[in-house]
């Protein structure tokens, strides 16, 4: 009697367990927002360290094992915007740092991003800083990283992206451009030469290139934001871009830090307007630590990203929009976790926005959620297009 009862209990547990697994599999494949944010992502964070989880996420995306964007197959016309002479089906992109080596571009576009930026890519392969170098602050919905430009190098990334060149051409025509973020090798004595090499090697494969002079994790890099250094660097990079023989030359952008003085910002704006840079990416991670941080790892060295960066980043977007008189398109990045966050940056002066850290805590469904909320808010506030909303906070 007892044996029979035990057997039935085991059978029931197996059935229920199998049903739970099937339900979890369905919710994961369907991209259920509550399931990812409330159950799956916290569970994965308990099972795997941040860098291991990052590597797994890239691998799954490379294999196409990601939930396809939910809702309509095409983004609503309200979200379309033209920037840098390219059409973007929606203004929400994936920031550099997730797909550092160009391994998962097609899988990432499946999530619903309007554009994907890979990198940073350095000329020669390098390992970056010693591990551990990534730290979660779940209480703050934030991450601190000190990766230090770990990169497979130009040749490997060029080969990888070159193999999908035709696929990207079709995606770009359909409003899904590709950006490539360029970095310098840690031991390089000639930063300008490193960035120029990146233009030659990867420029023909990109819709836009980003000159990253603002990572806090490469010694001396942020000094390149100084007026004299920046002018010389950008002049050389633009000359290399103009010398490319590809059919359509990439736009060139500069990525700046949030930790700038008022004079720093004015100098950067002056140089960008003077040399004719196509755009700004505002901002990178911050070395500051807000007093409100609660995470036990908040004092780790590195750049802070996620929700605590949002206000500082948005203020920098607003400042740079004012200093360039709205003439230089801006990609706003830092703390975008919702459609309201995205619109805040657009109203401050950004034509496009990017996200990354929110994926760590809310998973792939956050992409669709941000777009839906952004669309709703645009309609609610009476905007007819993204372009109409850009810089709205600067108008009377």
Q: Which of the residues are catalytic?
A: 215
Cβ(181)–Cβ(199) under 8 Å? no
Taking the mean position of all CA atoms in its chain, how far away is CA 350? Answer: 14
DSSP E strands, the chain: 81-83, 86-88, 92-94, 115-121, 134-137, 142-145, 178-182, 208-212, 251-256, 279-282, 303-306, 330-333, 352-355
In the structure, how many helices (H) and strands (E) does the chain have? 15, 13
Q: Are 40 and 125 in contact (CB under 8 A)?
A: no
State the residue for tokens 């229920």: 16
- Angle between helices 191-202 and 227-243 in degrees, nearest 10: 30
Query: Phi and psi of 212, rounded to 5°?
Result: -90, 105
Helix H segments across 78-149? 105-109
Report which DSSP code applies to 179.
E
Residue 357 tokens read as 């850290």
| CB under 8 A, 24+ apart: contacts of 376-385 | 376/339, 377/339, 377/340, 377/343, 378/78, 378/79, 378/343, 379/78, 381/343, 383/78, 384/78, 385/78, 385/80, 385/81
* Cross-strand partners of 179: 117, 208
Query: What residues contact residue 366 under an 8 Å CB cut-off, 6+ apart?
Result: 33, 36, 37, 337, 355, 358, 359
Q: Are the CB atoms for 121 and 183 separated by under 8 Å?
A: yes
């Amino acid at each position: 009697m007892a044996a029979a009862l035990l057997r039935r209990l085991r059978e029931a547990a197996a059935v229920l367990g199998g049903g739970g697994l099937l339900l979890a599999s369905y919710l994961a494949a369907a991209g259920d927002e509550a399931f990812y944010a409330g159950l799956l992502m916290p569970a994965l964070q308990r099972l795997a360290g941040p860098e291991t989880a990052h590597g797994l996420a890239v691998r799954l995306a490379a294999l196409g094992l990601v939930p396809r964007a939910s809702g309509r197959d095409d983004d609503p016309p309200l979200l379309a915007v033209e920037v840098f002479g390219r059409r973007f089906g929606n203004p929400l992109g994936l920031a550099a740092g997730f797909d550092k080596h160009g391994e998962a571009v097609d899988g990432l576009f499946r999530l619903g991003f309007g554009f994907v930026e890979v990198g940073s890519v350095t000329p020669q392969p390098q390992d970056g800083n010693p591990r551990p170098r990534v730290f979660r602050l779940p209480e703050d919905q934030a991450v601190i990283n000190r990766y230090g430009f770990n990169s497979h190098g130009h040749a490997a990334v060029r080969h990888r992206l070159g193999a999908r060149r035709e696929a990207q051409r079709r995606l770009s025509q359909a409003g899904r451009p590709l950006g490539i973020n360029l970095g310098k090798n840690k031991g390089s004595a000639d930063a300008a030469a490193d960035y120029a090499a990146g233009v030659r090697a990867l420029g023909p494969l990109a819709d836009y290139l980003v000159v990253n002079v603002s990572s806090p994790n490469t010694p001396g890099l942020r000094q390149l934001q100084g007026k004299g250094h920046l002018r010389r660097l950008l002049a050389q990079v633009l000359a290399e871009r103009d010398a490319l023989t590809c059919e359509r030359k990439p736009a060139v952008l500069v990525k700046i830090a949030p930790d700038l003085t008022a004079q720093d910002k004015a100098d950067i704006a002056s140089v960008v307007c003077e040399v004719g840079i196509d755009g700004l990416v505002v901002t990178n991670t911050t070395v500051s630590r807000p007093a409100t941080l609660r995470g036990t790892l908040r004092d780790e060295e590195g750049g802070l990203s996620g929700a605590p960066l949002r206000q500082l980043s948005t203020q920098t977007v607003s400042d740079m929009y004012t200093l360039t008189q709205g003439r230089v398109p801006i990609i706003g990045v830092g703390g975008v976790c919702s459609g309201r966050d995205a619109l805040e940056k657009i109203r401050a002066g950004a034509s496009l926005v990017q996200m990354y850290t929110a994926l760590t805590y809310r998973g792939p469904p956050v992409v669709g959620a941000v777009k839906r909320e952004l669309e709703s808010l645009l309609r609610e506030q009476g905007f007819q297009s993204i372009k109409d909303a850009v810089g709205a906070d600067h108008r009377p």
